[in-house]
Amino acid sequence: MGAAERDPYRDTWVRYLGYANEVGESFRSLVPVQVVWASYGVATAYVTADAIDKGRRAAAAHTRDPAQATRVGVAVVDTFVWQGLASVAIPSFTINRLCAASLALLGALTRWPLPLRRWATTALGLAAIPLIITPIDRSVDFLMDSSLRKLYGVPGEPPAPH
């Protein structure tokens, strides 16, 4: 991908669809569980679309060299695993536990009515989303560089199309 070419899954508003599940987890105490699961559907669709896009880009870059087809698979797998961990699994678990703990603590430490405690928990969850993104992204980079990426020998981001 050229320097001037924008990645729609990373450089536009579409990237925020990857955070849908964190928003869903933040609202878990206020909405039916089906709404939370729907937020996971949105985030998973984003992750899948990004992985497919990276595979298409890698395939287009290697149309003249079929021996490089492995790079297409690497681009898809790396993107899907990275996004699955950094955009869905780890942040949603983090927000879920933060909200559950805050709701329990507010119940134990305050006399606030339950609706107020639920809204406070939701606000805390939403406020935490921007704070957890960078540490989780960096941790997933480290995890991937220390494990899966060693199998295909490319540290950092998946191989970019030329």
Residues 116-140 have pLDDT tens digits of: 999 999 999 999 999 999 999 999 9
* 20 vs 74: CA distance, rounded Å: 26
Q: Which amino acid is at 71?
A: R
Reply yes or no on whether the pLDDT at 50 is more than 80.
yes
Give a yes or no: residue 7 inside a domain.
no
Nearest to 94 by CA among 142, 56, 133, 65: 133
Reply yes or no on whether the pLDDT at 77 is more than 60.
yes
- Which residue in the block uniquely carries the two structure tokens 């890698």? 58
Give a yes or no: residue 160 inside a domain.
no
3-state secondary structure of 87: helix
pTM above 0.85, yes or no: no
In this structure, the dihedral spanned by the alpha carbons of residues 99, 102, 108 and 114, taken in order and rounded to 10 degrees, is -50
Give a yes or no: residue 5 inside a domain.
no
Reply yes or no on whether the pLDDT at 66 is more than 60.
yes
Give a yes or no: residue 108 inside a domain.
yes
Domain with 80 in it:
13-152
In this structure, the dihedral spanned by the alpha carbons of residues 34, 37, 39 and 44, taken in order and rounded to 10 degrees, is -150
Residues 104-122 have pLDDT tens digits of: 999 999 999 999 999 999 9
Give a yes or no: residue 161 inside a domain.
no
Greater confidence, 6 or 158? Answer: 6
* 110 vs 73: CA distance, rounded Å: 53
Contacting residues for 23 by C-beta, under 8 A, at least 6 apart:
39, 126, 129
Reply yes or no on whether the pLDDT at 147 is more than 70.
yes
* 55 vs 78: CA distance, rounded Å: 10
Q: What is the residue-averaged pLDDT of the chain?
A: 88
Give a yes or no: residue 102 inside a domain.
yes
Give a yes or no: residue 158 inside a domain.
no
Residues 11-47 have pLDDT tens digits of: 888 888 999 999 999 999 999 999 999 999 999 999 9
Q: How many domains does the chain have?
A: 1
